[in-house]
Structure 1
């Protein structure tokens, strides 16, 4: 593994823990709907992710304005693709295959989506946002 990827994983642990905590707290305690809870978690962790990845992971000198707009675009695409795919897979697992309880499908989708999001986000940030 290369060093930027290891740093990215460390940063990901930090901002993912924050994002997942917010998602689950919102989804479970005040029963905020799935899409709003996941969006709030991703948005809250975005600032941590941007700052740490810009300075620590990629040590980028790309302009803040340019990288911010690209970062937001990558986040939106990664968010939608990751959480759409995770809901489709967990719905299939619950409703078609009977692998998981339908009651737990959205909780499983949140965790699965976080994994998809991390992988897609690394690729997008490295190749599009903070490239040199």
Structure 2
């Protein structure tokens, strides 16, 4: 066997190995949840920009509508793709809304409190403002609480393959 064939075979085995690893990652609900979150953010923000800049809607209407469209996509994709749940929209949507409200409340409260405490440390002050620290902490807290609530309260009746 030639040297080139050996290299090609090794390359194909390596890429196949990594492709399987990436595919396996999509089997984990948290990875799918993050992907849905990114997509729903792009859709919601895209709608806000289109409505605001393209159709000249007022800021409040454009952002409300964009957020609602993003939330609808989030519910539908999390139900079918992330958690593979058979829950009806009638049962799921009110639960989904409650989890979102709870996630925002917990995130806002804890991130503000933690950023106030951590933001007093000189080491932290030299790298980041309290407001930016609150935003970063809040994003992590929101994502964690939201995932837990969606998984355990909204879409807890999972469809198995």
State if a TM-score over 0.5 links the two structures.
yes
Equivalent residue number for residue 62 of structure 1:
87
Alignment size in residue pairs: 112
Unaligned runs of 5+ in 2: 1-24, 49-62
How far off its partner does 1:47 sit?
2.8
What are the residue-to-residue correspondences of 1:1-132 with 2, within 5 Å? Answer: 3-15=28-40, 44=67, 45-94=70-119, 96-98=120-122, 99-100=124-125, 104-132=129-157
Structure 1 residue ranges (4+ consecutive) displaced by more than 6 angstroms after TM superposition: 17-22
TM-score normalised according to structure 2 size: 0.58
Give 1:66 shift: 0.9
Q: Once superposed, what is the RMSD of the aligned Cα atoms?
A: 2.9
**Which has more radius of gyration?**
2
Higher RCO structure (Cα 8 Å, ≥6 apart):
1
TM-score, with normalisation over the residues of structure 1? 0.69
Instruction: Tell whether the 8 Å contact from 1:50 to 1:71 is kept in structure 2 after alignment.
Output: yes
User: 1:20 and 1:89, CA in 2 relative to 1: closer, same or farther beyond 3 A?
Assistant: farther
1:18 CA displacement:
6.8
